[in-house]
């Protein structure tokens, strides 16, 4: 049987890891062909990937596959299981379970990728070594850092370590997803759920508004006397504004109160009260505070953060750090190109982009620009969904990625169940694309 060669550029341009048509294409099938470790006698070097989320896991897989095993790939991840932020709001709303958004890294190990379940504490870009909490020292030829986001808790007075045990963000899927769900279940009928939306940029722009829908849907079913209050630091709904506003009006009349320009700066934990910068006091039975965000901590420890002391600047042709050579940064931690959201789909695209660039560089070739796609689904109840899609291309004159004209994307006209099926298909396919 003849061996099938994979066209890296074609796959990436088509957005096959997570295209808008993911539910109909069967992505996992095209992602599993060839590339097992050891299949090539030519060895190109070692790449270490830090972070096993949408970006890092995708990068590790495609480095292994597109190099046909010629690149030794090590993926360092703290958790032995992957929890998906997309679909996690449905767990909070009680219509999905945690096991439905949980996956293992077994598929990557079967490919020959070395999994190290540990936390990176230090990176030495001169010696090309990463150090871990368990004392390991791992060398690399090129490094991929995909740390996601951390939170700027210091922007809210009173949100100290002790308060964080009670006032949850639940913005990283996992234990806090379960904990916030438990708080809602324990809340009395007639209680108030108060959530905050941080100033952008933050991970998943429409995510807070989807969460408001899911909590309101739960209240509508089980606790109809209760209320959702959304305190938005921004002047208006950041993404899909008209669609969310209409959903709240049509589906949840009297259940959702949306208040823009409400920047919460203080927490009074004793009285379960949030205080805004102008002195407004909002009391709730359950407080869900999503703080402002920044690049994950390891990006700071490695000296990769150089934009507003918040994000890592990169070369948008290769995703190589603007600070350190041979170190690539991707996903939510980057200082995103104009109009590019911090999203799981985008991180998945970054993973393929960096894999392609590194394979080219290690073969002595010049990386070529890629077209990137993003699609984002939001559930307004348990079945009906709205989406927004966009396409991005590299502009060599500006040396950055720019959004292609509006005709190369799209926005739902109204929530519908068909898009709900697409959304679940998208999620399952992107998990398969990055982890099998």
The CATH number linked to 322 is: 3.50.50.60
Q: List Cβ neighbours of 346 (8 Å cut-off, separation of 6 or more).
A: 331, 336, 340, 372, 374
Could you tell me if 170 and 199 lie in one domain? yes
Could you tell me if 70 and 197 lie in one domain? no
Q: List Cβ neighbours of 49 (8 Å cut-off, separation of 6 or more).
A: 56, 57, 59, 60, 63, 73, 74, 75, 76, 143, 144, 146
**Strand-strand pairing, 142-145 and 273-276:** unpaired
Token output for 281: 């006091």
- Domain around 225: 153-291
Q: Does any domain span residue 312? A: yes
pLDDT tens for 82-111 read: 999 999 999 999 999 999 999 999 999 999
Could you tell me if 119 and 185 lie in one domain? no
DSSP state string for 16-35:
TTS-TTHHHH-HHHHHTSS-
Q: Does any domain span residue 424? A: yes
**Residue 107: alpha-carbon gap to chain centroid:** 20
Q: How many domains does the chain have?
A: 2
Coil, strand, or helix at residue 397? coil
**Cis? peptide before 201, omega within 30° of 0:** yes
Task: Catalogue the E-assigned strands of 152-307.
Answer: 192-197, 227-232, 256-259, 264-268, 273-276, 281-283, 286-288, 293-295, 305-307
Could you tell me if 281 and 362 lie in one domain? no
Could you tell me if 132 and 197 lie in one domain? no
Could you tell me if 312 and 270 lie in one domain? no
Coil, strand, or helix at residue 214? helix
Q: Does any domain span residue 3? A: no
Q: Give kind and range of the element (H or E) at residue 302.
A: none
Which of 291, 324, 339 terminates a domain? The answer is 291
Is the pTM higher than 0.75? The answer reads: yes
Q: List Cβ neighbours of 365 (8 Å cut-off, separation of 6 or more).
A: none
pLDDT < 70: residue spans in the chain? 1-41
Q: What pLDDT, on the 0 to 100 scale, is given for residue 405?
A: 85
Q: What pLDDT, on the 0 to 100 scale, is given for residue 39?
A: 47
Q: Does any domain span residue 247? A: yes
Q: Give kind and range of the element (H or E) at residue 125.
A: none
Could you tell me if 104 and 204 lie in one domain? no
Measured CA to CA, the distance from residue 254 to residue 275 in angstroms comes to 23
Measured CA to CA, the distance from residue 352 to residue 344 in angstroms comes to 13
Could you tell me if 273 and 316 lie in one domain? no
Which of 273, 291, 309 terminates a domain? The answer is 291
Token output for 28: 């996992």
Could you tell me if 142 and 177 lie in one domain? no
Q: Does any domain span residue 50? A: yes
Q: Does any domain span residue 360? A: yes
DSSP 405: P
Q: Does any domain span residue 1? A: no
CB neighbours of residue 44 within 10 Å:
21
The answer to whether 390 and 403 are in contact (CB under 8 A) is yes
Could you tell me if 304 and 418 lie in one domain? yes
Measured CA to CA, the distance from residue 28 to residue 428 in angstroms comes to 9
CB neighbours of residue 313 within 10 Å:
16
Which of 291, 313, 332 terminates a domain? The answer is 291
Q: Does any domain span residue 157? A: yes
Q: What pLDDT, on the 0 to 100 scale, is given for residue 113?
A: 98
Could you tell me if 283 and 253 lie in one domain? yes
Could you tell me if 319 and 220 lie in one domain? no
């Amino acid at each position: 049987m003849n061996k099938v060669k994979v066209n890296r550029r074609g796959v990436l341009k088509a957005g096959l890891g997570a295209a808008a048509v993911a539910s109909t294409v069967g992505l996992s099938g095209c992602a599993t062909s060839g590339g097992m470790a050891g299949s090539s006698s030519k060895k190109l070097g070692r790449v270490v990937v830090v972070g096993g989320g949408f970006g890092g896991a995708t990068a590790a897989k495609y480095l292994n596959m597109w190099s046909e095993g010629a690149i030794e790939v090590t993926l360092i991840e703290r958790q032995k299981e992957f929890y998906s932020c997309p679909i996690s709001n449905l767990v909070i709303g009680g219509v999905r379970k945690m096991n439905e958004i949980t996956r293992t890294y077994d598929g990557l190990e079967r490919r020959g990728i070395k999994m190290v379940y540990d936390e990176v504490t230090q990176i030495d870009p001169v010696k090309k070594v990463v150090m871990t909490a368990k004392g390991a020292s791992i060398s690399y030829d090129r490094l991929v850092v995909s740390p996601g986001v951390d939170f700027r808790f210091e922007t809210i007075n009173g949100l100290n370590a002790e308060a964080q045990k009670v006032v949850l963000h639940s913005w990283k899927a996992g234990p806090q997803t379960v904990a916030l769900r438990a708080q809602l279940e324990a809340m009395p009928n007639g209680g108030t759920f108060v959530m905050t939306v941080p100033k952008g940029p933050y991970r998943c722009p429409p995510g807070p508004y989807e969460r408001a829908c899911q909590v309101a849907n739960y209240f509508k079913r089980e606790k109809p006397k209760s209320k959702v209050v959304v305190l938005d630091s921004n002047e208006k709904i950041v993404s899909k504004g008209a669609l969310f506003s209409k959903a709240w009006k049509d589906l949840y009349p009297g259940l959702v109160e949306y208040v823009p320009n409400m920047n919460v700066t203080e927490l009074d934990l004793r009285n379960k009260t949030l205080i805004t910068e102008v002195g407004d006091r909002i009391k709730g039975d359950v407080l869900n505070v999503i703080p402002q965000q920044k690049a994950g901590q390891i990006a700071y420890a490695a000296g990769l953060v150089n934009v507003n002391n918040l994000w890592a600047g990169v070369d948008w042709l290769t995703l190589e750090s603007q600070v350190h050579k041979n170190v690539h940064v991707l996903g939510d931690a980057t200082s995103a190109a104009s109009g590019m959201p911090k999203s799981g789909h985008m991180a998945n695209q970054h993973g393929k982009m960096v894999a392609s660039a590194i394979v080219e560089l290690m073969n002595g070739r010049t990386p070529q620009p890629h077209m990137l796609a993003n699609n984002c689904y939001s559930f307004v109840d348990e079945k009906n969904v709205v989406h927004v899609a966009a396409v991005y291309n590299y502009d060599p004159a500006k040396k950055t990625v720019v959004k292609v004209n509006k005709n190369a994307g799209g926005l739902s006209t109204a929530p519908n169940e068909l898009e709900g099926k697409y959304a679940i298909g998208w999620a399952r396919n992107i998990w398969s694309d990055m982890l099998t």
